[in-house]
A = this chain, B = another copy of it.
């Protein structure tokens, strides 16, 4: 996967905060920011989602579309519930569209696997032509993110931020998933899932 790779289409079970299902295809011409989170992930509540809301406030919807992606890879029984997610979005005042990442073969949901996300929170940037431009796990700075997004708004995708992808560390090796101050990462089932893909 390179900065020029087509961003995989979203695989979502259902959408909240939108009347009609959303596809990346339908958003061509606009930069798309995907904030992958889990409602019980402290780093997502503390940092990732508030930052995604600042992105939505900073940029015009004509230029940048912010989407939430509920990518549950642990505590499925507790988190994979539409009513809990709806209440979570209400309490956290999240108004941008949020899709429930479709269940995968293992614990890792399908879109999270397709984008090889390390865990939550993750922030994915897709350029106006639908190419994957950057993927950040954890806590990227507001200034860096503001600059990267504006870069995509102004530039042709050919100049996409390939560097960011190279910077992504290899997936965590330990068998057990965990949450740190940075964020939450899944355990072994992830690798299983990948081999089966």
- Where the two chains meet, the residues of A that have a C-beta atom closer than 8 Å to any C-beta of B are 40-42, 45-46, 51, 54-55, 58-59, 75, 77-79, 81, 83-84, 86-88, 90-93, 141-151, 154-155, 179, 184
Contact = CB atoms under 8 A, between A and B. Distances in A.
How many copies of this chain does one complex carry? 4
Contacts of A77: 83, 87
Given A142-B146, A150-B151, A42 B92 contact: yes
Chain A interface main SS type: helix
A78 B89 CA distance: 12
B58 A147 contact: yes
Contact of A91 (B42, B58, B144): B42
A103 to B, nearest CB: 17
A30 to B, nearest CB: 15
A88 B58 contact: no
A40 B91 contact: yes
A37 to B, nearest CB: 12
Contacts of A46: 45-46
